[in-house]
Amino acid sequence: MDFQRVILFVIFSMSGVFLFQAWQKENAPPKPPAAITAPADKKADAPASAAGGVPAAAATTGAAAAAPAAGAVPASSAGSAVGEVFTVKTDQADFRINTVGGVIEEVALKEHRDGADKTKPYLTMMKSKDRVHMAQTGLIGAGLPNHNTVYSKVSTNTDMGSAATLEVRLSAPIAGGGKSDLVYTFKRDSYVVDVTHEITNGSAAEINPTAYFQFYRDSKVTGESNAMVGIFHGPAVYTEKDKYKKIDFKDIEKGKKNLHPTEATDGWVATVEHYFVNAWLPKAGVKREYYTAKESGDAYLAGTKLLTGPVAAGATTKISMPLLTGPQEQDMLKAAAPGLDIVVDYGIFSFLAAPMFWLLKWFHALVGNWGWAIVLLTILIKAAFYPLNHAAGRSMGKMKLAAPKLKELQERYAGDKVKLNQAMMELYKKEKINPLGGCFPILVQIPVFIALYWVLIAAVELRHAPWVLWIKDLSAPDPIFVLPVLYAITAFLQSKLQPPAPGMDPMQQKILQYMPVAFAVMFIFFPAGLVLYWTVSNILQIAQQWNINRVMEKEQEAAKALAKR
């Protein structure tokens, strides 16, 4: 019975991990606020060095730290310039933009609510005394506007209304002649905004600007990310060669090298958090440079630089970069850029979680409710495991029928464990019983359980998704604990149909007896959708085991009747 002890140890160890995660969700103290040096505005033409700023590229990782050809990204500066802050209204979000640098200071999503206060929209970008997460862009080169420059607002219409697109244009002069327009193009039904620099060279000489597009943010984790241990938040860089590279803020601060690829002709750079993502998406085939950097206070940069090529005197050129800011909706991410859907974090069992979510989405399309989709998925999983569970169930049923004989052997060899084990093995062989038959199905289904757990906490489609009556959010715990109680009842009934393994000591029997209670307590903190899955699974298992026991009892009675003839 040593193997049974190992099984119990594995199950309780994994349960302990989940319970610790759930406890952290409810009780972990909030992260103490770090000092934020939000970039105030700076006079339009003042270079970073004149204001005492350190070029941000000086702290970049890898080759980005030594890229003199592309030039240094100007550091954010605490200057005295004041710009106009205006709001662009689209069908998907409200964008707050400052004419100082044309910086996007806030993005308020209309279809997604704040996790702590559902009366407020979720902010994928923000600038406040507590949080900073903004999108900045500019040009590198003498006299060229950057994210500290004061632009003039050219466009008068900032409300999309019923239009298919909305263009918002800002303009700034270029020292020596000419101008540079910063153009934001918003599209209906899209979380992608096209950000374009239109550069007109009014001087008598050729210029060679470099455009940069970056995120400026603190290292704080959103409240929803704090809720679950293991959800990645922070910068990330993707290229076809090096794939998905997560970058820890602490590694950037320490100046570690080779955290991500720097020069490429494909990929993207993003800042990732629980359920949402902001990403700059350069067009494929365009040479670019990725960089990350630490600025003053609790502030970090993650961005990309593009060479525009020479702009002749009197000529105009454009350089554009799509900006995605929104939820991690997987179909939308796949359509936006190759590999972008990888930001949805499914943990170590992603190979199971991804198809599981696809099935959930398919069922949701049929029934229109994520809760009932989970019920249908549970039925499908039980059907897939039916042969395995049936074999295990028959083994448990045989164990129950053989219980009187096993008890007789235990009484006969009470003082000799060696002979008892030998006699039990002979009985198992004769009755064709596998004493470990009930353990294997549990072990096989644990990865499925964990995969669904990650689907429920990682898929934004299930965030705030209601089921019935009191279940308003399947990704959050049951608010009145009905599902955990139902789980405990079904688990207890299931244990009554499956007798304890012979030879199990009283302590192990006590552990098995109280396992439903322990799991029910743990499930108080788990997503309601996961408890729903496990409860429905128990109900189906009860029905299957009851039917197996009933059939086997009839088979035994028929065998006895045949023996009497």
For residues 232 and 168, what is the distance between their CA atoms, to the nearest angstrom? Answer: 34
State phi, psi for 553 to the nearest 5 degrees.
-65, -40
Identify the band that residue 163 occupies on the pLDDT scale cut at 50, 70 and 90: very high
For position 530, what pLDDT does the model report?
Answer: 86
Identify the band that residue 13 occupies on the pLDDT scale cut at 50, 70 and 90: low
For position 384, what pLDDT does the model report?
Answer: 84
C-alpha 46: how far from chain center: 40
Q: Is the pLDDT of residue 20 over 50?
A: no
The residues that bridge with 84 in the sheet, in sequence order, are: none
Give buried/exposed letters for 101-117 (b at 16+ CB in 10 A, else e).
Answer: bbbbbbbbbeebebbee
**Per-chain mean pLDDT for the chain:** 81
- To the nearest 10°, the Cα dihedral for 457, 461, 465, 468? -100
Percent of the chain with pLDDT over 70: 76
Q: Is the pLDDT of residue 53 over 60?
A: no
For residues 292 and 300, what is the distance between their CA atoms, to the nearest angstrom? Answer: 7
Identify the band that residue 505 occupies on the pLDDT scale cut at 50, 70 and 90: low
Question: Residue 309: left (phi > 0), alpha (psi -120 to 50), or beta?
Answer: left
**Mean pLDDT lowest among 120-134, 473-487, 492-506:** 492-506
For residues 353 and 369, what is the distance between their CA atoms, to the nearest angstrom? Answer: 19
Mean pLDDT, range 537-557, rounded to an integer: 79
Identify the band that residue 43 occupies on the pLDDT scale cut at 50, 70 and 90: very low
Higher local confidence (pLDDT), 237 or 548: 237
CATH class of this structure's domain 42-344: mainly beta
For residues 83 and 99, what is the distance between their CA atoms, to the nearest angstrom? Answer: 5
Which residues in the chain are classed under CATH 2.70.98.90? Answer: 42-344
**Mean pLDDT lowest among 90-94, 148-152, 445-449:** 445-449
Give, in order, the Cα–Cα distances in Å from 125 to each of 84, 279, 407, 465, 546. 18, 12, 68, 23, 55
Angle of CA points 145, 148, 154, to nearest 5°: 60
**CB neighbourhood size of 150 (10 A):** 22
Please give the model's pTM, rounded to 2 decimal places. Answer: 0.78
For position 364, what pLDDT does the model report?
Answer: 95
- Segment 231-276, tens digit of pLDDT: 889 999 999 999 999 999 999 999 998 999 999 999 999 999 999 9
Higher local confidence (pLDDT), 19 or 221: 221
For position 181, what pLDDT does the model report?
Answer: 97
Identify the band that residue 559 occupies on the pLDDT scale cut at 50, 70 and 90: low
**Mean pLDDT lowest among 376-385, 414-423, 487-496:** 414-423
Q: Are 303 and 323 in contact (CB under 8 A)?
A: no
Q: Is the pLDDT of residue 118 over 60?
A: yes
State phi, psi for 408 to the nearest 5 degrees.
-65, -40
For position 56, what pLDDT does the model report?
Answer: 39
**CB neighbourhood size of 87 (10 A):** 12
Mean pLDDT, range 143-170, rounded to an integer: 96
For position 98, what pLDDT does the model report?
Answer: 96
Mean pLDDT, range 225-234, rounded to an integer: 66
Q: Is the pLDDT of residue 25 over 50?
A: no
State phi, psi for 75 to the nearest 5 degrees.
-75, 150
State phi, psi for 359 to the nearest 5 degrees.
-65, -40
Q: Are 458 and 356 in contact (CB under 8 A)?
A: no
Q: Is the pLDDT of residue 510 over 70?
A: no
For position 553, what pLDDT does the model report?
Answer: 72
Identify the band that residue 79 occupies on the pLDDT scale cut at 50, 70 and 90: low
Q: Is the pLDDT of residue 10 over 60?
A: no
For position 227, what pLDDT does the model report?
Answer: 45
CA quadruple 358, 360, 362, 365: dihedral sign: negative
In the chain, the amino acid numbered 18 is F
Q: Kindly report each contact of residues 221-225 with a partner whose C-beta sits within 8 Å and lies 24 or more positions away, as own/partner.
A: 221/31, 221/273, 222/115, 222/273, 222/274, 223/115, 223/116, 224/115, 224/274, 224/275, 225/273, 225/274
Q: Is the pLDDT of residue 411 over 60?
A: yes
Percent of the chain with pLDDT over 90: 48
Q: Are 126 and 106 in contact (CB under 8 A)?
A: yes
Q: Is the pLDDT of residue 18 over 60?
A: no
For position 313, what pLDDT does the model report?
Answer: 93
Higher local confidence (pLDDT), 383 or 549: 383
From 18, 228, 238, 249, select the one nearest 115 (Cα to Cα).
228
Q: Are 493 and 465 in contact (CB under 8 A)?
A: no
